[in-house]
A and B are shown apart, each in its own frame.
Chain A
Amino acid sequence: MAFNFNWSPLIADTSRARDMLTTALNKSPKPPIIVDDIIVTELNLGSTPPELEILEIGDLAEDRFRGIFKMSYTGDAFLTLKTKVQANPLNTYLSSKPDFASPMPLAASSGLTIPLQITLSDIRLSGFVILVFSKQKGITLVFRNDPLESLKVSSTFDTIPFVRDYLQKVIEEQLRVLFMDDLPAIIHRLSLRLFVPEFQELETETEERLDGSNDTTVPIDPLLTPPQDAIDSFGNPIDVSQITALSLDPASEMHASFSKSNILRLAALSESQRTLSLFTPGIQEVVFRAWANNPDQSNSGTATPALTQSSLSRIQSTFGSNRSHASSVASGSTGQETYSSRPTVVSNYSAPAGLSLGANRGTRGQMRKRKKRVVDLRKSKDSAESPGVPTEPSTPRANTSASDTTSSIPEEREMEDLVTTPTSASDSYYRVEGSHPTMNAAGPSRLMEQTASADVLLPAAPLLADAPKLSRPKPKAPAATAAAVPIRLHEPEMEERQRSHSSRPPLSRNRLRPTQQATSPLLRSLSFDKVTSLSATHSKLPTSPSYAESTSSSSGGILEQAWMMKMANEIALKVQQEKGRGVSRGRSEDVSSSSSAKNLSSSAPSRGMWMSSEEEDAPPPAYVA
């Protein structure tokens, strides 16, 4: 085995490393003798590379590496620092003393600042290095022991032996701290810039804002290889104990914690989907479900179409395992199952990307079945239009906001088949819903959910939300719970439908906790609460009864029902107003909401009627996504 160790590109451009070193040096509180920022004016890594001896390789793959080296360095690197020091010893001495017992000199302590230039050279290092490399997380480099053997400090005060010795001593101390603490962080961030372009963008943004002082990267035990800024999908920082717990299960480790930059990006994406904004942030290193076309998906009726893609998403398998014990709870489990069966084709690093892109994936996942469903859709839509659903002028909007620019291209190609429907996103929903007979049982419940969604107009809440939320309809629609078991067999359809409901308001977040914790750490970490808080679009709805209540006790059903009724009434009211405005304003914009809302408004007063009439024609979903 051989390694190609290329030293020259490292020494090419050190300006960035210089900046980072400057930041790192000024971060920690400085001794009182240093009265100005420490600025790294020159940094040269030298032409001699360090010698590395491989002691152990723990993990080796194309995109990751973990090993322990013995490093020794006797090169010609040097570093020049500039700062200002306080030359009056009385001043520095008194500044650290309490006033009460201070002699309070009148002017004897007045300061004299002297510019100081220090050059560090002849650095001798030797130590054990733990190096962890992963394409997503960059390089983590940690010294096992204190690597600094010796160095030469030359400064402006070389002629004064007392000052020289003092400087030598202090700088050696500081350097030891630097090697043990700061350098791993710097290297990690540098590598992130190199390998993770999105991090680079984010970094530059934040640095502009905060002047690089927001260094959240902390070196952690590299043997566990957790992400440096470990947060779960809601932006909760994962504490160390949790990380260790997660990494006991190597499969979940990668998924349970996400890069902060990705979370931000996803938040931006889901937010943009809630508005008319056409902006869709590009997310790197993400395989959208639509792109990972898998022929297995065509057989929609079979039990686990999604799991065939498990190579891409280990997260699914975790959820799949949950299904077995979750199934005892009728409709609550349906939610999880459907979620688990959803083919989330996401690169391991950014699981939430795929999840919050639910709308996109929904459209794409159906592409393969589209031919068949097109027929169904038209039928269903025609029938659906009869109860007063207006035609869909709003589809363009749904399309633009919902579908990623890249992903929409193939869709439009397929659209040629569909003569009547101009766009794909909304159509696919219709198709799906109309095509499946199993939907009937759950129909009314879904409707109610849509009432909620129509109100908020927040589309495409990340799909994660669906799992807990699905529990809500259960008590309200006993028929649905009865049908829940058969439905589970047709998970794809359920999933399709739920995807269309992605705009439902999230449940109250805190109450989700108990159940989530009961399931698995992964599920817990995937809980929805922080995604929404990140995206900063909070539902205006009152918090709905908790998931735990609804799943565990049927008594909560009354509450649920009352709440849903209230919501439906509210929405009906809103729709009335909306309609009044919509007429004057021209319907191009509001139709989507009002169309679905219209159904709802009619549904609100008489739910029984809906239960019967909704059987075959699903109402248009709030495809604001």
Chain B
Amino acid sequence: MLDFMESVQNAFYEASHWNLDNSYGALNATARALLDFQTPKGLRLQISSLAAPNFATSYTLGNVGVVDGSVSYLYSSLPLHRKLKSAELDLHHVVRGYRHLQELRRPDEEWWSEIWHNGKRIDQKDTLLYGRIFLPQSRLEALYLRRVTPTRQLRVSAVSDSALNNGGTILTLLQNDTGKYSTEYMYSTDSALMGLRGLYNFGADPRVTPTNPITTTPSTSEIVHGRFSAGAELYYGLLNKSGGISTGLRFTTLPDHTGFPYTMTLTLNPLMGNLSSTYAVKAGRNLALCSRFDFNFYSYESELQLGCELWRRRRSTGVEWAVKKMHSDRERATDAPDDDVSGILKARVDQAWRIGLLWEGRIKELMFTIGASLDLRKREQVFRAVGVELQYSS
């Protein structure tokens, strides 16, 4: 389940029309959500609040180690209006699962955001500031996010911790997203790592389609059922003179697709000989399945992982069907979409019989996450980690 502050950041992205999915880093986001989810460890409590549309606070308390916790604050120059109270937030926003990609949207025009007053531009760039301090480790995380232009975003994240080399690290990330393609340039102070990422979407360019007059008779052939994307990344550390490279392909179905939505990715690391393919399918409204196969053609090591996500809904009681029938769809529109969700089960297993289980949901106004990671190979200690996370936000 997403951290409250991550939800707030996502709300900022949404409000500022930034497409998180259109990045090479999010190429296999679906597979990662279904296979690489983190299981909580120990007990963790989080109380958070979006006190004002521009300001959020969050406090966590955990028992990893002895007692630890964190305090975080967030400021956004853009008012955020997404429902973030734990009683009424949309579970799809906080539970990472199958990412059903939408049609690319055309970037905003520059002048949309311009506000003129007395002949002067008074509008400001959207900015997000976020800070979090972990106690008692005294680790500080900071984030600065700025929408420079509608197609460009600057993201600076920093960690200060005496345990790290040089006392901390700063990562600067400049992202461009034109819809058709996206590029990212990054620099990390840690060993002076430089990086470059790019993603190209095949198919129609969203920037040009609106210029075409909408045809009165849309031919069925023009309807796009899926999207094919290709990308690559390149890293080079100036100080340790080492680098990395990878390329990837993705095909995913779009909402217009009539059958099951599915996503396929293939990534290749030519330097290390690693080939990874994932296939994820949303088999129904409540079920998503995913598999991943890794193969290294230098060491002949292979790995297989399977995962699933299951939304469990409460059975409607006896009268409810009658009520539904009577009010037909009029009533249903006002209902919260996930009112009947009792919980979401995520499970993964790999060929070494390491199992991860996650049960997320909402009880009254409390969001909960219960997780366990098991290792069936180690008989004496099957449970590697068990944890409970509770979140409340107002």
By a beta-carbon cutoff of 8 Å, the part of chain A in contact with chain B is: 87-90, 93, 97-98, 100-114
Contacts and interface: CB of A to CB of B under 8 A. Distances in A.
Interface in B245-265: 245-246, 248
A93 B276 CA distance: 21
Nearest to B168: A101
B159 A100 contact: yes
A103 B171 contact: yes
A100 B245 CA distance: 21
Given A106-B267, A108-B234, A111-B274, 6 more contacts: A89-B243, A90-B244, A98-B139, A101-B169, A108-B246, A110-B274
Contacts of A104: 25
Given A93-B242, A110-B274, A112-B273, A102 B28 contact: no
Indicate the member of A88, A100, A109 with the most B CB atoms within 10 Å.
A100
A309 to B, nearest CB: 48
A101 B267 contact: no
B32 to A, nearest CB: 9
B161 interface: yes
Interface in B154-172: 157-159, 161, 164, 169-171
Contacts of A88: 244, 271-272
Contact of A107 (B143, B159, B193, B274): B274
Contacts of A100: 141, 143, 157, 159
B237 interface: yes
Contact of A113 (B141, B143, B294, B301): B301
B301 to A, nearest CB: 7
A89 B242 contact: yes
Given A89-B240, A103-B171, A103-B186, A110 B246 contact: yes
A75 to B, nearest CB: 37
In this complex, the interface size class of chain B, counting residues with CB under 8 Å from chain A, is: 35 or more
Indicate the member of A101, A112, A114 with the most B CB atoms within 10 Å.
A101
Contacts of A112: 272-274, 296, 298-299
Q: Main SS of chain A's interface residues? A: loop
Contacts of B28: 106
Nearest to B268: A107
B296 A105 contact: no
A90 B242 contact: yes
Indicate the member of A98, A106, A110 with the most B CB atoms within 10 Å.
A106
A107 B274 CA distance: 8
A318 to B, nearest CB: 42
Contacts of A90: 235, 237, 242-244
Contacts of A105: 25, 195, 233, 235, 244, 246
Nearest to B298: A112
A105 B139 CA distance: 23
Contacts of B141: 98, 100-101
A90 B246 CA distance: 12
A87 B242 CA distance: 11
A108 B233 contact: yes
Contacts of B190: 93, 97, 101
Contacts of A111: 272, 274
Indicate the member of B191, B237, B273, B299 with the most A CB atoms within 10 Å.
B299
Nearest to A102: B171
B27 interface: yes
Contacts of A102: 171
A93 B237 contact: yes
A103 B269 contact: no
Contacts of B143: 100
Interface in B79-124: none
B24 interface: yes
B188 interface: yes
Given A105-B233, A111-B272, A93 B191 contact: yes
B245 to A, nearest CB: 6
7 contacts: A93-B190, A101-B169, A103-B195, A105-B235, A107-B268, A107-B269, A110-B269
A272 B69 CA distance: 50
B185 to A, nearest CB: 11
Contacts of A114: 299
A607 B368 CA distance: 66
A99 to B, nearest CB: 9
Nearest to A99: B159
A108 B195 CA distance: 11
B25 A106 contact: yes
A88 B164 CA distance: 21
Contacts of B188: 101, 103
A109 B233 CA distance: 11
Contact of B244 (A97, A98, A108, A113): A108
A108 B171 contact: no
Interface string B7-25: 0000000000000000011
A107 B248 contact: yes
Contact of A106 (B233, B242, B272, B296): B233
Contact of A101 (B159, B235, B273, B294): B159
A100 B141 CA distance: 7
Indicate the member of A97, A100, A108, A112 with the most B CB atoms within 10 Å.
A108
Contacts of A97: 164, 169, 190
A358 to B, nearest CB: 39
Interface string B190-223: 1101010100000000000000000000000000
Indicate the member of A87, A107, A108 with the most B CB atoms within 10 Å.
A107
A102 B161 CA distance: 14
A270 B237 CA distance: 66
Contacts of B193: 93, 103
A103 B170 CA distance: 10
Contacts of A93: 190-191, 193, 237, 240, 242
A113 B299 CA distance: 7
B31 to A, nearest CB: 11
Contact of B246 (A98, A101, A106): A106
A102 B186 CA distance: 10
A102 B159 CA distance: 10
A110 B186 contact: no
A107 B267 contact: yes
A106 B195 CA distance: 12
